Amino acid sequence: MKVTLKIKRFNPEKDEKPWWAEYTVEAEPTDRLLDALNAIKWYQDGTLSFRRSCMHGVCGSDAMLINGSNALACKVLLKNLGENIKVEPMRGFRVARDLMVDLEPFFDKYKQVKPYFITHSVTPEKERQQSPAERERFDDTTKCILCGACTTSCPSFWANPEYIGPAAIVNAHRFVFDSRDEGREERLEILNHRDGVWRCRTIFNCVEACPRGINVTRAIGEVKKALMFRKL
Amino acid sequence: MELYAWLFMRVSGIVLLFLALGHLLIMHVIHNVETIDYHFVAHRFMTPFWRTYDLVMLWLALLHGLNGARTLIEDYVGVRGWRVFSLASLYILGFIFLALGSLVILTFQPVGG
């Protein structure tokens, strides 16, 4: 099949504002969008820039705005996108070049929630044990690959870049509900800030955008509930 | 603070659902709008129950709406000066309506039977 890709391009060193480039690629319907982007980069226009690494939906490098929705270019098939495809960088972050956005602020927010185990008790001789049910409690939020699709699909985040964002909350959730972690209080305190979970307006864009199928809004809701029952 | 605002929105929303439905039922279904006049309201306000009902509805509805508007302003008014101005106007207006409404409900005296 022949597909036409309209790609929003921007080189801050050369361009005053973003512009649309159009490319036509011959591809199989079962090819991924990433294959089409690679075909352009390798055979038509080497200046096109985008991130990709594992190309199997695990590393989270190639999240972008595809036909108006955030998705991983390596996970969507061309047959599901039609013959005219629009590709843009994710919204809300500074465009570093073409489809690459500056993710520094994204990872700064991620670091804010202390995404690592915090323990104060004496280290046990063997491992810290956990029952399958306790592990199940936060299973959904362990799936996050930090691609940024949820945060950059969130209107609250577009409106206020200070909002900590769904991705950081998901990663805080992963530790807040982990029975082995002892940093619950300090993490919840960070999320209780006015730019924390309370900026979430339950719009559900994050749930639709997540390529890992994480129920992000539910995770945020659970953090809100945890905060509420802690105070009341 | 945001936690309490969030909780208030949920609780007031649920309570308002019943209060507003009750209000709608009485004012528009059981009684025809054309039959509602000064005497109807004056008669209703003879009982403390209806005064309390209306007072609670006034406070919850107004504060619920004000908090919603506050959220919108905080989300979408980016310039600090405009934000402070919008919020100040909102609070002043809200206070005036709240005070005026409460004054009417609490001090209403029927005239002319």
pLDDT given at position B40: 87
Burial (CB < 10 A; 0-12, 13-18, 19+), residue A209, is buried
Whether residue B112 has pLDDT greater than 80:
no
Distances (CA, A) of A4 to A20, A21, A46: 12, 10, 17
* Domain ranges (residues) in chain A: 2-101, 104-231
Domains of chain B: 2-107 (1.20.1300.10)
CATH class in words for A2-101: alpha beta
In chain A, residues 45-104 whose CB comes closer than 8 Å to chain B: none
B6: chain A residues, CB-CB within 8 Å: 198, 224, 228
- pLDDT computed for residue A99 by the predictor: 97
Query: Which residue in A150, A6, A154, A157 sits closest to A67, CA to CA?
Result: A6
Please check whether residue B61 is in contact with residue B97, taking contact to mean a CB–CB distance below 8 angstroms.
Answer: no
Q: Average model confidence (pLDDT) for chain A?
A: 96
pLDDT, residue B35, reads 84
pLDDT score recorded for residue B69: 97
Contact list in A for residue B71 (CB cut-off 8 A) is 201
pLDDT tops 90 at residue B39: no
Cβ-defined contact of A192 to B76 (cutoff 8 Å): no
Q: What is the pLDDT of residue A182?
A: 95
Please report the ipTM that was assigned to this predicted complex.
0.78
Distance from CA of A158 to the nearest CA of B (A): 9
Instruction: Please tell me the distance from the alpha carbon of residue A213 to that of residue A103, in angstroms, as a whole number.
Output: 21
Residue A165 half-sphere exposure toward CB, CA atoms < 13 A: 29
Distance CA A14, CA A183 (A): 47
**Segment A140-198, tens digit of pLDDT:** 999 999 999 999 999 999 999 999 999 999 999 999 999 999 999 999 999 999 899 99
CA distance A213 to A196: 22
Q: Do B1 and A194 touch (CB under 8 A)?
A: yes
pLDDT band at B44 (very low <50, low <70, confident <90, very high): confident
Give the A window 175-194 contacts with B, CB below 8 Å: 192, 194
Q: Which of B3, B76, B83 to mutate to probe the A interface, most A CBs <10 Å?
A: B3
Shortest Cα distance from A191 to chain B (angstroms)?
11
Q: Which CATH class is domain A104-231?
A: mainly alpha
Q: Can you give the pLDDT at residue A232?
A: 61
**Is B1–A228 a contact, with Cβ atoms under 8 angstroms apart?**
no
Vertex A53: Cα angle to A150 and A96 (nearest 5)? 65
Average pLDDT, chain B: 92
* pLDDT at res. B78: 85
Interface of B with A (CB under 8 A): 1-3, 5-7, 71, 74-76
**From B76, which residue of chain A is nearest by alpha-carbon distance?**
A159
Chain centroid offset of residue A68 CA = 15
Q: Which pLDDT band, with edges at 50, 70 and 90, does B32 fall under?
A: confident
Using DSSP bridges, classify how beta strands A84-88 and A69-72 pair: parallel, antiparallel or unpaired.
Answer: unpaired
- CA B14 vs CA A105, B51, B55, B57, B76: distances in Å: 38, 20, 16, 12, 26
pLDDT average per 10 residues of sequence, chain A (232 residues): 97 96 97 97 97 95 97 97 97 96 97 95 92 97 97 95 96 96 94 93 96 97 93 62
Q: Which residues does A221 contact at the CB level (< 8 Å), separation at least 6?
A: A202
